Structure 1
Amino acid sequence: MKVLALADAFAPLASASDALAWVVVLGFVLASALTWAGRRTVARYLASGTWALFGVFWLSVFPTFWFEMKSAIEGSLSLVAVPACLYTAYLLYDGRESLLTLSHAVGVMGLIYLPAETVPLFRRFLVETVASQTYAVMTALGYSPEFVPIDKEGPVYGYLAMFVFEDATGHTYTTHIVTACTGIGSMAIFGGLIAAVRAPLRRKAKALATAVAIIWVLNIARNVFIAVAFGRQWFQQDAFVHVATEYAGYQDPHLASFFIADRVIAQSLSVVALVGITWLVVRQLPELLDVIEEALFVLTGTEYDLAAAIGQPVRADGGPEE
């Protein structure tokens, strides 16, 4: 009852999340334009206000992650992002202009991600492409779920992107692809970071291609794992069922396999994968270290010299040694 009351309290804010996202992205883009125009002080104040709104945005999506999706990892990260964004806003207001680069990166991330989330034509193409490739891999591995249009209400209703497994008793287990299952969020992160730094276009293109290719392959593998693990009920051991029903809020015990596969294993490994991809991309584009150092300063309050820490050689003009 208390959980429902808390979810209801967040409802008005949650309903404004899409609008907030667009306002935040436009704010960061305008701040970037002002920076390029040489009006850095105005850009800094605008970016500061936009970061504060970004904190409100993360608060607005918390109930979706925590109550609807029952994702402790994403829900917790969204809450952590609130004070982090507010602190970034304070630092910019206080004069830390170096955070304008991070602000530019976030703006580009939004320009990549939001069309995929909000433009139906783009969303459908992306979702159905990922779904068809996921299905192809499953069938190649010897699994044969039905591949049918999504019959659940929502933005992806009617898309050919749902997998239906059936057990010996006739019980069906369905999963379907949504925008978050396409990997576009992770691609947007690296796209924004790479776009924000000054470096030769060739190296930036190579770094982006590396990140996107790895993310795409790992994301297909993730989708296959979740669909098969749930469809074949791999994680129905008593301990997992107990955790899913008693602590994660799932009423149907059959969803324990989905909870463990997606919310625990896949999401945890996604964090590890992002760290690994970041390391690979930084080897090709060490200019990213400046942006990462700024993010770490926001999180820890400590200045870092990551180039020295990882032994990355850098040329006098700011590029890596060839």
Structure 2
Amino acid sequence: MPALPATTAAGTTPVDLVTTGPTTILAAGIDSIPLSDSLAWIAIGVFVVAMVLEWRGAVDPARYLAAGAWVVFGLFWLTMVPHYYLEVKSPIQTLLTLAALPLCAYAGYLLVQGRESLLLLSRAVAFMGLFYLPAETIPVVKTWLIETTAAQTHFGMELLGHSPGIEEGLNGYQSRFAFDSDETVTGRTTYIIMSCTGIGSMAIFGGLIAAVDAPLRRKVVPFALSVGVIWFLNLVRNVFIGLASPWGWFQQDALVYVVTEFMGAPADRTSYIVAHNFIAQSLSIVALLGITYLVVRLLPEVLEPLEDVLYILTGTEYDLTDALGTEARADGGTTAASEPSSGPETER
């Protein structure tokens, strides 16, 4: 995205948004594009209605309604392509948003063709939206999330010897790190927006955990674990980007050349783009895969919607329970998958 000037006591300092990683489903800055905002609300609303119909036993109407919701959900992501390509300049997020529409349309097609198991994945998306959209649209909640994240990020910077202070950002929240442009390498700074809070990634796991059929007592631990890990890693990420941008950690000539020649960005924005668009987003994928593994070890029922995700992506049926050697026990716990005995058991 282009540099945004903001006046400080030290003069004019260009600022960047510490935006989210590629795995945040609904935290895509929907407040920036009204059409996207509307499509997100419509999609989640239809998903919720389909979920209610399924619970009431009207499976066929639920399938058709959920199929339509998937198409609208795909259109939502399509409207975000210009934002990620022209403003954020993120190759990863641009490719993901481009792929979203055909994948969502295929999910809708499978539902129409009778793949009822996709109703569980549809239910998960409904819960994700119910987790995220209120936080996005209730002012007091949104303000608290943004400003608390900014304060925690600033505390992390202080632990590393940097104390720029916090002031009002262009979004109207106390979320901008007030580095002096005359003292830093690039003269740039960043400020926190809603998608920097990690709420989108939390909503992903919250939606998956809420959607599956399992006792509530077994859902509490994986939910708390996933939220806690996401919160910590997101804080580390914000501190990393918030310091890399002003202090020019990645202003090496080769990187500057790539950013200016191939991405059309100003040279002084190189450190931000490298830290945010390449390093942080790539590591976000690795981190979420790791969190997913921890969650499925505690709540293997989550594997069922993930198997449908893999089917949509590859067209091949997978048995992740067998692959991971985990299965649900009758008492609601988990156990390693049994292996055939090679002979009579010997007492020791």
Given the two structures, how large is their TM-score scaled by the length of structure 2?
A: 0.84
What secondary structure does 1:205 align onto? helix
Q: Deviations over 1:65-117 (max 9, x none)?
A: 11111111111101111110000000000000000000000011111111222
Task: State whether residues 215 and 332 of structure 2, in contact with CA within 8 Å, keep that contact through their aligned partners in structure 1.
Answer: no
The residue number in structure 1 matching 2:22 is none
Q: State the alpha-carbon separation in 1 of the partners of residues 333 and 159 from structure 2.
A: 44
The residue number in structure 2 matching 1:275 is 289
Q: Deviations over 1:224-280 (max 9, x none)?
A: 000111121110001111111111221x21100000000110011001000000000
Q: Give runs of aligned pairs for residues 10-25 of structure 1, distance below 5 A.
A: 15-25=34-44
Pairs aligned (count): 303
Shift of residue 135, structure 1, vs aligned partner: 0.3
Q: Give runs of aligned pairs for residues 302-313 of structure 1, distance below 5 A.
A: 302-313=316-327
Q: State the alpha-carbon separation in 2 of the partners of residues 134 and 317 from structure 1.
A: 42
Q: Give runs of aligned pairs for residues 37-76 of structure 1, distance below 5 A.
A: 37-76=56-95
Letter in 1 for 2:255: F
Q: State the alpha-carbon separation in 2 of the partners of residues 256 and 64 from structure 1.
A: 19
Q: State the alpha-carbon separation in 1 of the partners of residues 165 and 261 from structure 2.
A: 31
The residue number in structure 1 matching 2:249 is 234
Mark the runs of 5 or more structure 2 residues left unpaired by the alignment. Answer: 1-32, 337-348
Q: Deviations over 1:165-218 (max 9, x none)?
A: 236567632100001111011000000000110111111011100000000000
The residue number in structure 1 matching 2:149 is 130
Q: State the alpha-carbon separation in 2 of the partners of residues 226 and 286 from structure 1.
A: 34
Stretch deviating more after TM superposition (175-184 or 117-126): 117-126
Q: State the alpha-carbon separation in 1 of the partners of residues 175 and 53 from structure 2.
A: 42
1:224 aligns with 2:243: no
1:139 aligns with 2:158: yes
Task: State whether residues 116 and 123 of structure 1, in contact with CA within 8 Å, keep that contact through their aligned partners in structure 2.
Answer: yes
% identical aligned pairs:
53
Q: State the alpha-carbon separation in 2 of the partners of residues 90 and 319 from structure 1.
A: 35
Task: State whether residues 67 and 109 of structure 2, in contact with CA within 8 Å, keep that contact through their aligned partners in structure 1.
Answer: yes
1:32 aligns with 2:51: yes
Q: Aligned pair in 2 of structure 1 residues 44, 220: CA closer, same or farther (>3 Å)? A: same
Match of 2:191 among 155, 176, 185: 176
Q: State the alpha-carbon separation in 2 of the partners of residues 305 and 40 from structure 1.
A: 24
Task: State whether residues 134 and 224 of structure 1, in contact with CA within 8 Å, keep that contact through their aligned partners in structure 2.
Answer: yes
The structure that is helix-richer by fraction is 1
Shift of residue 310, structure 1, vs aligned partner: 0.9
Match of 1:165 among 169, 174, 179: 179
The residue number in structure 1 matching 2:343 is none
Match of 1:259 among 273, 278, 294: 273
The CA RMSD over aligned residues, in Å, is: 1.5
Shift of residue 37, structure 1, vs aligned partner: 0.3
What secondary structure does 1:162 align onto? strand
Letter in 2 for 1:130: T
The residue number in structure 2 matching 1:11 is none
Q: Give runs of aligned pairs for residues 191-210 of structure 1, distance below 5 A.
A: 191-210=206-225
Structure of greater Rg: 2
